[in-house]
């Protein structure tokens, strides 16, 4: 199979409009337009997201082609996120990808967003060591929290997942309670740096050994803050660093407990993380420490491949292109697409 290909990846599953070009495993461009409009609402508003995708998609793709220094006629295929995600958002990327593939008369390749987060580890970025099969992938983002056993590029089995909120939601909703803007995850991480992680103990929710639950934690934060603010109206401002550090400590050690259980259950000691929350400094540090402590091998993606991006869609497109795994032009978006 020809490998001298240029593949365009398009991602529009949530609130980032993104396009990237990949050539022989290497990313030539990786453009992301993050929709700021949702900040004012404290979370993603689906209707506004799809409208913003419609405005952003053409300039974002143009920029990706320009930065890759190629003309659209040089493209070998179009890869796009078919799901899971917000239906209105997915529809924008899906229809655009279909029209572009049809207009250029080149293959269309559907990509599962969650597989994208996992397979982003196979992008060649110079100094990264790629995971060896089988490995465990923990996908932690604003929309999903899963532990996946990855036996080959396209053989994946979900062995644990959240029964309610995603871990990113736990960060964002707790941040909202603390009066921080959306998305609050990176801010909690920032304030946690200078706080005392043991100051305020939060209870870890109890579910199956490899499953997750975060809705109780959010409620615990709410009641805790309400109680303390009643006694001291300045409680949040005076203790923000310690609250954030304690919260981050609880979430990170909960994630680590689940990964340890998955290692015990599968005997696999090679672990890769993906999704926006893998940008968190606490989980990165905990994984690095576990490497030497438990003799694990861990893979942490580059920051730009952690949060939603199209480079991860383009790498899956390239892997599927090699297998000639193409998608019919009558495909439709699938908001609840499974791995």
Binding site for ligand KG4 (CB under 6 A): 14, 141-143, 168, 171-172, 183, 185-186, 189, 275-277, 279-280, 307-308
Using CB distances below 5 to 8 A depending on partner kind, what does residue 142 bind out of ligand KG4, Zn ion, none?
ligand KG4
Tell me how far, at minimum, the Cβ of 328 lies from Zn ion, in Å. Answer: 25
DSSP 3-state assignment of 35? coil
If you compute the radius of gyration of the chain from its CA atoms, what whole number of angstroms results?
A: 20
Rounded distance between C-alpha atoms, residue 74 and residue 124, angstroms: 21
112 or 327: CB nearest Zn ion: 112
Nearest residue to ligand KG4 on Cβ basis? 276
Picked from ligand KG4, Zn ion, none, the partner binding residue 172 (CB below 5 to 8 A depending on kind) is ligand KG4
326 to each of 38, 76, 116, 323, how far by Cα in Å? 34, 12, 16, 9
Strand blocks (E) in 61-181: 77-83, 108-112, 135-140, 145-152, 155-161
The nearest distance, CB 111 to Zn ion, in angstroms, is: 12
We find the least distance from the C-beta atom of residue 186 to ligand KG4, in angstroms, to be 4
Question: How many other C-beta atoms are found inside a 10 Å radius of the C-beta of residue 93?
Answer: 27
Residue 313: contacted member of Zn ion, ligand KG4, none (CB under 5 to 8 Å, by partner type): none
Residue nearest to Zn ion (CB): 141
Residue 168, contacted partner among Zn ion, ligand KG4, none, CB below 5-8 A by kind: ligand KG4
- 3-state secondary structure at position 286: helix
From 274, 303, 311, 323, select the one nearest 7 (Cα to Cα).
311
Nearest-angstrom CA–CA distance, 153 and 214? 29
Minimum CB–partner distance for residue 149 and ligand KG4 (Å) = 20
- Helix 167-177 and helix 185-192, axial crossing angle in degrees, nearest 10: 70
* Phi-psi group of 42: left, alpha or beta (phi > 0 → left; psi -120 to 50 → alpha; rest → beta): left
Q: Which is nearer to ligand KG4, 189 or 211 (CB)?
A: 189
Question: Which of residues 56 and 307 has its CB atom nearest to ligand KG4 in the complex?
Answer: 307
Minimum distance, C-beta of residue 167 to ligand KG4, in the bound complex (Å): 8
Contact positions vs Zn ion (CB under 5 A): 141, 308
- Asked whether 270 and 260 are in contact (CB, 8 A), the reply is no
Binder of residue 183, out of ligand KG4, Zn ion, none (CB less than 5 to 8 A by kind): ligand KG4
268 SS3 class? coil
> Residue 84 touches which of ligand KG4, Zn ion, none (CB < 5 to 8 A by kind)?
none
CB of 326 to ligand KG4, least distance (A): 25
Residue with Cβ nearer Zn ion (76 or 141):
141
């Amino acid at each position: 199979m020809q490998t001298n290909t240029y593949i365009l990846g398009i991602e529009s599953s949530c609130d980032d409009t993104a396009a990237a070009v990949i050539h022989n495993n290497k990313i030539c461009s990786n453009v992301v337009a993050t929709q700021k409009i949702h900040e004012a609402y404290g979370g993603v508003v689906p209707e506004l997201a799809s409208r913003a995708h419609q405005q952003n998609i053409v300039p974002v793709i143009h920029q990706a082609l320009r930065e890759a220094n190629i003309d659209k006629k040089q493209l070998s295929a179009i890869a796009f996120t078919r799901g899971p995600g917000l239906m209105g958002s997915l529809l924008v990327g899906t229809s655009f990808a279909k029209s572009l593939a049809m207009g250029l008369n080149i293959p269309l390749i559907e990509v599962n967003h969650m597989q994208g987060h996992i397979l982003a580890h196979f992008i060649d970025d110079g100094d990264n060591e790629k995971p060896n099969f089988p490995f465990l992938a923990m996908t932690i983002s604003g929309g999903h929290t899963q532990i996946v056993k990855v036996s080959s590029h396209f053989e994946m089995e979900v062995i644990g997942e959240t029964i309610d909120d995603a871990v990113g939601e736990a960060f964002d909703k707790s941040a909202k309670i603390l009066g921080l803007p959306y998305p609050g995850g990176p801010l909690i991480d920032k304030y946690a740096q200078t706080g005392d992680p043991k100051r305020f103990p939060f209870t870890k929710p109890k579910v199956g050994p490899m499953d997750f639950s975060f809705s109780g934690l959010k409620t615990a934060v709410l009641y805790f803050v309400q109680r303390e603010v009643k006694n001291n109206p300045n409680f949040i401002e005076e203790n923000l660093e310690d609250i954030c550090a304690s919260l981050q400590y609880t979430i990170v050690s909960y994630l680590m407990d689940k990964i340890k259980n998955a290692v015990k259950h599968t005997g696999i000691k090679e672990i890769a993380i993906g999704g926006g929350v893998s940008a968190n400094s606490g989980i990165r540090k905990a994984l690095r420490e576990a490497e030497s402590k438990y003799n694990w091998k861990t893979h942490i993606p580059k920051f730009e491949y952690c949060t939603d991006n199209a480079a991860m869609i383009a790498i899956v497109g390239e892997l599927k292109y090699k297998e000639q795994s193409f998608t019919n032009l009558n495909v439709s978006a699938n908001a609840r697409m499974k791995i």
